[in-house]
Structure 1
Amino acid sequence: MVSTTKAIKTQCSWLMGCNLKEHQITTGVGVLTQWQLTGFDLEAQQIDSHTATLALSREQEFDYRNNLFSLTPKLYLIIEASSDLSTPLITQLTASKSVANEYMNSEYLVLTNEMPGPVQAWLADFVCSKH
């Protein structure tokens, strides 16, 4: 189901598009096809299977700081691992490596891409703001 909406961004959540494309990987047993995260649409105008909300939590503040101070800050997109590549099943979008690590098993695929500059600034504002 696709619904049209205005881009949504608050102090602690941001709806964004996740640019996903099919990607082939050569392994020792053959070629596998899976999703690849190529970037983000920060002005998503519709909610569909390629959008997710980056929701911030004060409990993850330490992880956000570590991410921001890393050489390449990243966002982590968690999708359900599935042999059906027609539609990605997004579970969560996060800026916390610890949260992403909780999903690293055979049931989920954790995709990463560089955190866009505007998201870095927004996340830094959240981390530096008064509780």
Structure 2
Amino acid sequence: MILERCEKGMLATGDQALLEEMQHILTEHAEGMFLWVTFLLDDLCAQYCDDDIRKCLKTLPKNLKDTFNRVLSRIVAHNRDGLVKKVIHWLVVASRPLTLDELCDALSIEVGQKHAERRRRVNDKGRILLWCENLVHIDEED
């Protein structure tokens, strides 16, 4: 998984020793929690430099509950909890998977409105993933 992220340009480090350290730490602490590894790889990929990656490796949450608490704390700290709740609400109640454009339209609707309003539409739909702190992922369309 780590090499795959490097090849896709998602993990910005050329330090082979650091990559091996990441592999060792994540494998050693995963205890079969694939989702835990996925969330932590997302965190590691968001770091700016090798020093930050190392700091992140030293402060890994111990389990999935701690991982989710850390994610939710970041959402609240950035005052995005209202938006994230709306995103998750729309994704849960939809009768089928939504496209990113459909999700943006849904987010622009307020209670009592009959249709989406252009002025309330998310300007940069790609940022939804950033705001949701890895709780939402997009499947690539064919």
TM-score (norm 2): 0.24
User: Which of the two has higher C-alpha Rg?
Assistant: 2
Q: Which has the higher contact order (CA 8 A, sep 6+)?
A: 1
Q: Would you tell me which structure has more helix in proportion to its own residues?
A: 2
